[in-house]
Amino acid sequence: MSKLQLPAEWAPQDGIMLTWPHPHGDWLPWLSQVEHVYSQIVTAVSPYEQLLIICYDQQHQSHIENILHQQGVDQNQFQFHIIRGNDSWARDHGPITVIEELSPKLLDFGFNGWGNKYEAEQDNLISQTLYNQKAFADVDIEAWPLILEGGSIDSDGQGTLLTTEHCLLSPTRNPQLNKSDVEGILKTSMGIDRVLWLNKGELIGDDTDCHIDMLARFCDVDTIAYTDCDDESDPHYLPLKDMMAELTAFKKADGQPYKLVALPIPKAIYNQDGQRLPASYANFLIINQAVLLPTYGDEMDKVASQRLSRCFPDRKIIEINCQALIEQFGSLHCITMQLPKGILRP
């Protein structure tokens, strides 16, 4: 059987995939603010790698081109594809890349709107449609009959996967599968050797059933950055301390403990209905030579930036204000999907 590998996010990349928000979905009340966030991401990423941008229709593409032209972004650094989608969470409807015998391959898992919470039929077709539109290099795509979002898994690139039981074992995703079944599919499809399962920790307002990319992330094979709360009056305090205890108990493949780096949470941010929104610094994006850090106009922004810079001493930390994104309960990592080296056409 050929050896598979799920690359770590810090592996060399060809580009970043974005599904640009459009006025036909839930972003309408915040569309201008959210588009500003997207344009800031494109501006930050374009000096380092390409961008694959999905547009709703030709008019939408022209609108985006105008925005990026005004931003002064090099037009050679992005490619557009017109695909009508439900929403813009590319992390969860985009393809997942594995390496098989040194060659990249795309995996197309099912997406059902985070357990049938939202319409997702169009988004579920995006990866295959991109493939049919020749968006990618000469690589294969393989469909898997498993509901799995990219935000629910994190890889160290060496065969270890970090995830949460609450999400992957959700009865609204794969009710016919138990923990052993899911772990078996992860190992078969991605070449995973072992799975580290968290069953503690959650963020209020996160409607993904505890995606790992809101809670804990590999920074290298030895280091995990995680969301922490030191305010005993905050309802996050106990769940996140319980999660920290689980992370402390985890061991690397060689039996040694991980180096853990605590990322604070900002002061509570609420929407106009009084609902607390899930602001997480763990929702960062690693790209070639840089890390994009979501910020929220809070004094903890700088603390998170300083701590993350120590995790990535060879990468520039670029802060992106993501207050508009959390209005729809996600953040920076959630709207992006990295495309490792060899995926995009030269």
Q: If DSSP codes are grouped into helix, strand and coil, which group holds residue 139?
A: coil
Rama region for 324: left / alpha / beta (φ>0; ψ in -120 to 50; rest):
alpha
Largest CA distance in the chain: 55
Number of other residues whose CB lies within 10 A of the CB of residue 288: 18
Distance between CA atoms of residues 16 and 9, nearest Å = 11
Q: Which of 230, 320, 229, 245 is nearest to 283 (CA)?
A: 320
Q: If DSSP codes are grouped into helix, strand and coil, which group holds residue 69?
A: helix
Distance between CA atoms of residues 17 and 79, nearest Å = 10
The answer to whether 340 and 95 have CB atoms below 8 angstroms apart is: no
> How far is CA 22 from its chain centroid?
20
- Return the amino acid letter for 291: V
The answer to whether 303 and 227 have CB atoms below 8 angstroms apart is: no
Based on the residue annotation, tell me whether 334 is a catalytic residue of this protein: yes
Looking up tokens 């809101």 gives 214
Distance between CA atoms of residues 126 and 129, nearest Å = 5
Rama region for 116: left / alpha / beta (φ>0; ψ in -120 to 50; rest):
left
Choice among 219, 229, 311, 334 that is catalytic: 334
Distance between CA atoms of residues 145 and 116, nearest Å = 16
Q: Which two tokens stand for residue 312?
A: 């990535």
Q: If DSSP codes are grouped into helix, strand and coil, which group holds residue 180?
A: helix
- Which residues are catalytic, by number? 334
